[in-house]
Amino acid sequence: MNPEVIAWLIVALAMLGLESVTFQLVSIWFALGALITMLACCVAPIGIEIQLLIFVISSGLLLAFTRRLVKNFMYKKHEKTNIDTLIGKTAIISEKVDSFEGSGALKLEGKMWSVRSVDDKPIQSGAVVEVLEIRGVKLVVKEVPAVCADK
């Protein structure tokens, strides 16, 4: 067997081994580039310069055109849950919000929630707030002009 074919097979296996340890979807493209170069060496005798050129171009093209597709397939985007629907809703503060005392509550969609002010400023009971985010089990809110609060 041609020694260049064996060398490119070793490079491909080494890149696959590296990918199996890192899971970063980088060295897999170089493994495929080495396999393409190995196949080119099987088809025709080519010099090392051409082999390296085939390896670099094929690996680069594979990396550039398919990495994003594979990453989108493997790493699904965060799916919203029912709790995410609270973000953007308004409610009325039922217990004064004071980040330093660790107090504050509101009722939203029939449930009582612990509340924290986005800027750590106190918010008085009865104020209308908008839910900006959820941190653990607390709603992070900001005070808004009183118009109409969700229930």
pLDDT in tens, 40-57: 999 988 999 999 999 999
The pLDDT of residue 92: 92
Mean pLDDT value across residues 76-82: 61
Q: Which amino acid is at 94?
A: S
Please compute the mean of the pLDDT values over residues 90-95 and round it to a whole number.
92
Give residue 75's pLDDT band: very low, low, confident or very high (50, 70, 90): low
Specify the pLDDT at position 78: 57
Q: Are 102 and 122 in contact (CB under 8 A)?
A: no
Residue 22 has pLDDT above 90, yes or no: no
Report pTM: 0.49
Task: Read off φ and ψ for residue 132, nearest 5 degrees.
Answer: -95, -40
Which residue do the tokens 């055109």 mark? Answer: 65
Rg (CA), the chain: 29
For residues 65 and 62, what is the distance between their CA atoms, to the nearest angstrom? 5
Whether residue 65 has pLDDT greater than 90: no
Percent of residues, the chain, with pLDDT higher than 70:
87
pLDDT of residue 77: 61
What is the model's pLDDT at position 86?
86
Residue 148 pLDDT greater than 60, yes or no: no
**Which CATH number is 82-143's, of 3.20.20.70, 3.40.47.10, 2.40.50.140, 2.40.110.10?**
2.40.50.140
pLDDT for residue 66: 82
Query: What are the sequence ranges of the domains in the chain?
Result: 3-74, 82-143
Name the token pair of 96: 């004064």
Helices (H), 75-130: none
